[in-house]
Amino acid sequence: MIYLDAAATTPVRREVLEAMWPYLTGEFGNASSHHELGARAKDALEDARASVASVLGCRPSEVVFTSGGTESDNLAVKGLVLPMIAGATPAAAAETARVHVAVSSIEHAAVLESARYLQRWHGVDVTELPVNSGGLVSVEELDAYLSAKSAAGYSKGLVSIMYANNEVGTVQDISALSAVAHHYGALFHTDAVQAAGWLSLDVSQLGVDALSISGHKLGAPKGCGVLFASRAVTLEPIINGGGQQRGLRSGTEGVANAVGIATALTLAETEREASSRRMTELRNGFLSRVRELVPSVVLTGLEPGEGNRLPNNASLIFPGFNGESVLLELERRGVICSSGSACAAGSTDPSHVLIAMGISEDDARTAVRFSLPSTITAEDLERAATLLSQSIDHLANLRLK
């Protein structure tokens, strides 16, 4: 099997399993317990928090462990906006109407649906910012939007724009976008789930107030994530209970998962620059070979040479062919990939990301995403390109019969 769906998930790394193992066995203490076993669990938890903070360039107290990217996005979007809402009195309703949220039109569903929740239940003004054909949000358009909101009396707001897109790999200029948001007094969150391991996560350089990460994209288990939340902002918890993690995310901490994501993130950061160079070269070679074997293929998003694309992403459309049929043929030949976001599995709707980029619904339904794991080899990719060509030829022959 040739696995080319790393944007969906990655296998747990051996180093991560070994780091987690003690806290899945003998060191099973509750980090809130006031005895030796609990104290050791708390020490491990705080060591993990410090390790994550080291990668993010933040204080350990600004690291919140969550169940994954979806929870981190929900906590960020809802948690940053809810304190801006004055309340439910008639006088407060007018103030609520002065709160706005701007998200890009290609965000992950966790961000989009969180924003829509705030709109539906709290009357928050929500705007989906357009992107160009490459999937980029314009800094100038964000400036114009925020200027208009400021002029209209919107004094409080949040901008949430993902660092790197999960379908087409487009990388946004987060530092420039966050600077514009802060100029108008808005907070800024970025979903960095796909960026982790490939791009710098230094929150001071990015200029963000909150940043989301998911462990299973990095070689940690599913069910663990991180939210960076600056202590300079007010964050309302969305899970209430015993007050763990400064009251921002109550519930008995999963020490093993915290250790796991901290280990995976540290390893990924150590390897990041070398892995990015290697993967860029392999991805470019794979793309060139596919274009040679299947001349009708179209790359979605930015060309690799333009620099604003994840090094392991190649999102392709095959005009005239059903994307699901291509996937099935590839899987029959031992190549695993996807038609887009794994979180939209089972949906027959065309990708909202591709539609937002100006791709027609018919072409969007032909999309196939290849996201390369760090363990892939040039030989694997050469074989995958050949098998892709065979799959397209087979489907073309079926169409002619």
**Is residue 343 annotated as a catalytic residue, yes or no?**
yes
| Spatial separation of the C-alpha atoms in residues 126 and 220, rounded to whole Å | 34
Q: 239, 80 in Cβ contact below 8 A?
A: no
For helices 69-81 and 109-122, what crossing angle results, to 10°?
A: 30
| Spatial separation of the C-alpha atoms in residues 266 and 23, rounded to whole Å | 18
Q: 338, 327 in Cβ contact below 8 A?
A: yes
CA trace torsion 186, 184, 144, 179 (10° rounding) = -80
| Spatial separation of the C-alpha atoms in residues 69 and 212, rounded to whole Å | 6
Selecting among 58, 224, 337, 343, the annotated active-site residue is 343
Question: Strand 99-104 and strand 125-129: pairing?
Answer: parallel
* Residues annotated as catalytic (active site), given as ranges: 343
